[in-house]
A and B are shown apart, each in its own frame.
Chain A
Amino acid sequence: MTLAWQNRLIYLLAFCSGFSIMGVELLGGRILAPFFGSSVHIWGSIITVFMLSLSIGYLYGGKLSTQNANLTRYGMIFIVAGVLVLPIALWANPIMETIFVAIEDSRYGSLAAASALFLLPTIVLGMISPYSVRLLVTSKEQSGQVAGILYFVSTLGSAMGTIFTSFYFVLWFEVNTIIVSYSALLVVLGATAITFQKLASQTQLAATEEVAHEN
């Protein structure tokens, strides 16, 4: 398990997190529509909540990466994000119904509903980018280059997540099926990162033992 493979895995994970974020965001409009309509302000609410959550996530992700950054913790972020996405499929209707009854103005109603459904999972998803940078950067000189590639990969993932979800997935599947799939994808990716870390440390351990024997 080389460092090159580890970096490829991180780029893949960053791509998939970008894909999932925009996939969920796009479905957000469809999830809110039955209660809050399809006026322009619905998208205002959704985009606001996603941008706000991502910005908070970037801050926390960066902070978290300063303490003993490793692939296991990175994988845990994915698993937590995946679990937090699931309530969107499970409880969106009762949550929206409560808010619909409580808040008369559909602008603030949709803002509250978007927050209730998307704030937490998107904060956690936002933590992925800065954490990826921390895992990828090994020297100060290449930090800009690494950040550039990472933004490229994750934003490309976002673009793909947007187009596939809006052009095809909604034509083939139910909204909840797509949401559950994103949730499962994130959990599987997280588990992959953790497994990779385990295997890597085992090989490393074996290698150090070998070195110790030779001495």
Chain B
Amino acid sequence: MKTNVYLLATLLAFSFFTTSALAKVIHQERSMYRNILVEDTGNLRCLKFNVKSKKTNQSCFLKSDPNRLVFNYTKLMFSGMIVNPNPSRILIVGLGGGTMSNTLHQLLPDAEIENIEIDPAVIKVARQYFSFFENDKVTSKVVDGRIFIKRALLKKQHYDWIILDAFNGDYIPEHLMTKEFLQETKKLLSDNGVLTANTFSISDLYDYESSTYQSVFGNFYQVKSKRQENRIILTTKNELPNKAQLKTNLAALHDRLRPYDVNILKVFNSFTNKQDWPANAPILTDQFSPANLLNQ
């Protein structure tokens, strides 16, 4: 009897969600790396990879108000501007729908923004369905993040802000979370450079990743959403500024970011530098990086 009630409730809930959502797939393609889906739900348009994944939505925007950021973790990414409010060279590894690039260009019209994406189909879809645009300041390039960073190092380039957001979908590029990779990324930062990385907040990887970042950067901030579904690791090339130092820019930044639906005061309040992983957690290296096996 009890199971029947549960069953009925589940069925009701399911039919409610499916009818209320009314998602319409407007584009679908199989790229070299993944299935790409663009889905419209009313005013909301989302980019999805591998449909049956737990974390399906990669990037979303409101068709009527494309400047407003929908995803919490993209909002958390703006924490980078608390440390460096006027970056002039920005590197984004992992394009998604390109919303981050679009917003940053509007915020910082003089900044050079380079987007790196391994999958050419993702860039195409971002352009066609998510108003991702390029101009003389904003560029995109099809290349593996690791290769781009190694080549940029050879050319002695530096960036004021590096945004790592390459860990979407089910498969994790293991060579983009090793100690060696982070060392290379650190070298690519300018003296007041800041790194914000979208990292894993669940599974065994949490401890491994935290420990790996710590081994390269020392102390770092974690920026977490209330529901803890995402965490951004925020760190700098040189000494990490303390919270009191960071507070000085906050009011001005708040007004700048408000139109994009980013409440930077709230983001700032979620900063923590408390170590919440075991001290003996193993470090991921090029020699040992079973990230996909750990993320079961």
Contact = CB atoms under 8 A, between A and B. Distances in A.
Interface of A: 30, 33-40, 100-101, 106, 167, 170-171, 173-176
Nearest to A173: B288
A167 B296 CA distance: 12
B180 interface: yes
Nearest to A31: B286
A118 B118 CA distance: 26
A167 B293 contact: yes
Contacts of B145: 37
A101 B153 CA distance: 11
A171 B145 CA distance: 24
Interface in B87-121: 118
A108 to B, nearest CB: 13
Q: Which 5 residue pairs are nearest across A and B when measured between Cβ atoms?
A: A37-B144, A33-B175, A174-B287, A171-B290, A37-B147
Contacts of A171: 290, 293-294
Interface string B254-292: 000000000000000000000000000000011111100
Contact of B290 (A38, A39, A170): A170
B144 A34 contact: no
Contacts, number: 58
Given A30-B174, A40-B33, A101-B154, A35 B289 contact: no
A40 B33 CA distance: 8
Nearest to A38: B173
A39 B118 contact: yes
A34 B146 contact: yes
What's the interface size class on B, roughly?
A: 20 to 34
Given A37-B145, A170-B289, A171-B294, 8 more contacts: A33-B174, A34-B178, A36-B144, A36-B147, A37-B147, A38-B173, A39-B144, A174-B287
Interface in B136-182: 143-147, 150, 154, 173-175, 178, 180-181
Nearest to A166: B293
B252 interface: no
Contacts of A174: 285, 287-288
B118 A37 contact: yes
Main SS class of interface, A:
helix
Given A33-B175, A38-B173, A167-B293, A175 B287 contact: yes
B32 interface: yes
A215 B3 CA distance: 90
B118 A175 contact: no
Contacts of B287: 174-176
Contact of A34 (B118, B181, B290, B294): B181
A171 B205 CA distance: 13
Contacts of A175: 286-288
Nearest to B293: A171
Nearest to B180: A34
Contacts of A170: 288-290, 293
A35 B180 CA distance: 11
Interface string B45-71: 000000000000000000000000000
B288 A40 contact: no
Contact of A30 (B33, B144, B289): B289
A30 B181 CA distance: 13
A100 B151 CA distance: 9
A34 B293 contact: no
Nearest to A37: B144
A22 B155 CA distance: 37
Contact of B175 (A38, A167, A176): A38
Contacts of A33: 146, 174-175, 286
A34 B286 contact: yes
A213 B285 CA distance: 67
A33 B293 CA distance: 17
